[in-house]
Amino acid sequence: MEPTGYNLLHDPSRNKGTAFTKEEREKYKLNGLLPEAVETIKTQLLRVNEQVDRFNIPINKYVYLLQLLDNNETLFFRTIMDNPVKYMPIIYTPTVGDACIQFGHIFRRPRGMYLSINDKGKIATILRNWPVKDVRFTVVTDGERILGLGDLGMSGMGIPIGKLCLYTACAGVPPQLTLPVVLDAGTNNEDLLNDPLYTGLKIKRVRGKEYEEFIDEFVYAINEVFPGICIQWEDFAGTNAIKILDKYRDKVCCFNDDIQGTAGVIDSGLLTACKLSGVPLEEHRFLFLGAGAAAVGIADLMVKVLMEHGVSKEKAYASFWLFDRKGMVSRKRNDLEDHKKPFANNDLEITDFLEAIKTVKPTAIAGLSTIKSAFTKEMIELMSELNERPIIFPCSNPTSHSECTAEEAYTWSKGKAIFASGSPFPPVKINDKIVYPSQGNNVYIFPAMGLAVLATKAKRVTDEMFIAALYSLSNQVSKTNLEMGLIFPPVQEIRQVAARMAADIAKYIFDSGLAGVKRPENIELFIKDMMYKPEYN
């Protein structure tokens, strides 16, 4: 039975607010519950924009927009889609980092599902409490490594909420098919443990067998309750992220955005930057500050891309140098975790990153360290001496953890740098020219991947699907974009970019026999017909 009256106005998926027509107000018993004027969604958008602009602090804008989502889902997504440049930094990076830090303090209405390690043995039963029975996507975190902010425990729920909003806003995945989940196994963050407003388990993180059993039960339960589900693993600590992905990637439909999504977007940016540099891809030398799951994921995927270009596996691995907290990843080290060992392709004993640049003479440096200002003036100047067009990618986010700013990279390189960052930066004037910094945000990849999986009912998500995505993204960078300094398409075009990318991924899925539906005659139209449109019915 459809809700009516006051209940209808509090159903975010059906509420139109002042846009209910006179006939609908009569039919659904809304007379007297709304002001007299019947407004269009465009008029409502004017009001939303005006109200958002009254807030000066980004976190207050975030809270307002989440309240709008709780009140009127259609209007919320129309707001984001109409102006992604303005609103994506509010509902996701960098503001979402602050939202996670303050999660218990700004908490108003629960969204998604909160599964505690104390729920072991009954997770499937609890998942059945979710009111929607056909969920296709879940973004799930245990909150241990949120962005560059570290262990935020249950407060990491802001990430699944934000990412699933982008599934819809950027790629048109219907919102009712999405479910944010946090797996609460405790936290080692003392500030949270001592915070009376922290809403998660106030225990130290559970490790070992008990934790692994918790993850196992969750994977089994969510696939039992929602048989068509695709799991996006998000912001797990490096070792756990790699172990979980390796364990389940061939068993269920899942992927890790920090490993594969980051790899897809950064490798796409590197591919485009290599073209812009004038140096062939196979001649580049990549030095990464950071050797965690994201860095290894980027390098591993690019190794496969290089091999597609005819480079031998050995030479492809030799194109990468990784540098972690203890220094260069090399054969001289006896403390390397398994995921780093394929990149121990040298005998260097270097503990200073500047010295690493001097020795390796890279064409590109990428920061995945979460260390603010790790790329110094001396480093950027040295890169500019070594290369006509040095590639500088400070990938860490939020902005407060970026290895350098766009202004620093362009100024210190005297405008020579090919730049992309993990967080947004404003335009920079250099040499009497305005340059627009690129943001290598995963939003260019994961929503389109979700749309392709939804449309094709793909049985698995593979690295090759991310390679299809990164080529699609790189191919959508126009000559005009490049002249502006962009190595990714403009954010305002994100919906068109996602539609084309989803079609390109879908073509690979059909070609490789991974689809669960029959191949359509026109894949592009097939994809676009799937996309949610924020319009009142």
What is the spatial distance between Cα 209 and Cα 62, in angstroms, rounded to a whole number? Answer: 38
Write down the catalytic residue from 92, 248, 508, 532: 92
- At 13-34, the pLDDT tens digits run 999 999 999 999 999 999 999 9
Supply the pLDDT for residue 379.
98
Q: Tell me the β-bridge partners of 286.
A: 320, 364
Q: Tell me the β-bridge partners of 180.
A: 139
- At 320-350, the pLDDT tens digits run 999 999 999 999 999 999 999 999 999 999 9
Q: What is the CA radius of gyration of the chain?
A: 23
Q: Under CATH, to which class is 444-530 assigned? A: alpha beta
Q: Domain boundaries in the chain? A: 5-90, 100-252, 260-441, 444-530
Q: How confident is the model at residue 485 (pLDDT cuts 50, 70, 90)?
A: confident
Helices (DSSP H) in 226-261: which residue ranges?
238-248
Q: Are strands 428-430 and 433-435 parallel, antiparallel or unpaired?
A: antiparallel
Active site (annotated) includes residue 163: yes
510, 513, 517, 519 alpha-carbon torsion, rounded to 10°: 40
pLDDT, mean of residues 402-431:
94
- At 127-173, the pLDDT tens digits run 999 999 999 999 999 999 998 899 999 999 999 999 999 999 999 99
What would be the CATH architecture of the domain defined by 260-441?
A: 3-Layer(aba) Sandwich (3.40)
Of the candidates 503, 137, 215, 146, the residue with the CA atom closest to the CA atom of residue 511: 503
pLDDT, mean of residues 256-282:
95
What would be the CATH architecture of the domain defined by 5-90?
A: Up-down Bundle (1.20)
Same fold, 5-90 and 100-252: no
DSSP 494: H
Of the candidates 447, 400, 409, the residue with the CA atom closest to the CA atom of residue 84: 447
What is the spatial distance between Cα 144 and Cα 207, in angstroms, rounded to a whole number? Answer: 12
What is the spatial distance between Cα 313 and Cα 330, in angstroms, rounded to a whole number? Answer: 18
The rounded percent of the chain whose pLDDT value lies above 90 is 95
Q: Are strands 230-233 and 137-141 parallel, antiparallel or unpaired?
A: parallel
Q: Are strands 327-328 and 320-324 parallel, antiparallel or unpaired?
A: antiparallel
DSSP 321: E
Share the mean pLDDT of the chain.
96
Q: Which residue has the tokens 């620093």?
A: 408
Sheet holding 438-439, edge to edge: 327-328, 320-324, 286-289, 364-367, 391-394, 418-421, 438-439
Write down the catalytic residue from 16, 61, 163, 507: 163
CATH code of domain 100-252: 3.40.50.10380
